[in-house]
Each structure stands twice: as structure tokens, then as C-alpha cells.
Amino acid sequence: MPQPPRLNAVALISPQNHPILIRTFQKGDELKYHYVAHTSLDVIEERTSGKTKPTECYLGLLYVMDDVAAYGYITPLKVKIVIALALTDSVVRDADVVMIFKALHMAFYEAVSNPFLKLDGVSESTADYSPYQAVGSMKWKRLRQAVDEIHRALCAYAP
């Protein structure tokens, strides 16, 4: 039985390329995974600029850096999801990665669908206003908890 991929970090990025949520599961490597998320944006932009199939959300392997493989996904509303998986000797199946992305996409969708959630936490006077900038606040506690649950579910299947 193949070993499930080990999730090191998750990044959700707004359509305006503002980080919505960057959640790391490795202590002391927070800056590294911020870098992974931001460098993934260039590859995502390159792959989606000349894209002929707008229905394809999964972007596949974006790049490999040291001991991390970055995979990308873009939602129909142009929210980008990047995950960093630990490089191991086991084979990472695309079906497993797509399953992780779909779970993260649904967690984000459920968080945004909350009718009591106010996305206007940032002043609208700036020209570069994005309602997603307030995601890191305590109002988005449920999204962070859902991301943590997905990580725990993946860890539970590891031998």
C-alpha cells in the first residue's frame, strides 16, 4: 500500500496574489514556506496565462526545492492553493494530491459561505483592496481548523 504524502504547508492566495492563509506544519520553517508560496505564484501565472482549458483546476507539480515539492491548484474564482509536500522515496500519486486540493477547496468554500462572516475587515480606501486580506484574522478560525483537520487526517494514514 502506498504511503500517503506528508503535508508540510498549505497556502491560499487571493486572485490579487495576496496571501490569504499560509499554514505550516514544520516548526521553524515558516519563512521557507512563505517563500515557497510566493515563488509558486510565478509558475501558476505562467501556466494559466496561455491555458486553453479553463475547466482544469489542478496544475500539477509546480517545482521542487531542496526537500519540498510544491503543487498548485486554482479555483474557478482564481483563488490559488499551493501545498508543499515532503520529498520522500515513495511515489506521490496525482489522485492523492487532487484529493487534498479538493478537501482544501471545500474548506475554503465553506468558510467563505458563512453568512455571518464579514470580509470588510480592511479599509476600502486603498486602491488595492482585497476582501481576502482579513482572512488571517480570528474570524477565519474555522478555516484554520479545517486545514488542521485535513493535515491530521493525512497523518493518521501514515504508518
Per-residue pLDDT of the chain (159 residues; tens, 9 = 90+): 567 788 899 999 988 888 888 899 888 888 899 999 999 999 998 888 875 555 678 999 999 988 899 999 999 888 999 999 988 877 888 888 999 999 999 999 888 887 766 655 444 444 454 555 454 555 577 888 888 888 888 888 655
140 within domain boundaries: yes
Q: Quick one: DSSP state of residue 21?
A: E
**Residue 103: its pLDDT value, please?**
93
Q: Does some domain include residue 16?
A: yes
3-class DSSP state of 105 = helix
Interatomic CA distance for residues 83 and 99, integer angstroms: 12
pLDDT at 124: 47
In a domain, 40, yes or no: yes
Query: In this structure, is residue 93 part of a structural domain?
Result: yes
Whether residue 125 lies inside any domain: the answer is yes
CATH number of the domain encompassing residue 124: 3.30.450.70
Query: Residue 2 falls within a domain, yes or no?
Result: no
91, part of any domain: yes
pLDDT in the model for residue 122? 46
| pLDDT the model gives residue 110 | 86
Contact, 150 vs 115, CB < 8 A? Answer: no
**Residue 121: per-residue pLDDT:** 47
- In sequence order, the 6+-apart residues with CB closer than 8 A to the CB of 8 are 24, 25, 26, 29, 33, 68, 84, 85, 86
Q: How many domains does the chain have?
A: 1
Is residue 99 in a domain? yes
Residue 141: give the domain boundaries: 7-156
**What is the C-alpha to C-alpha distance for residues 117 and 144, in angstroms, rounded to an integer?**
14
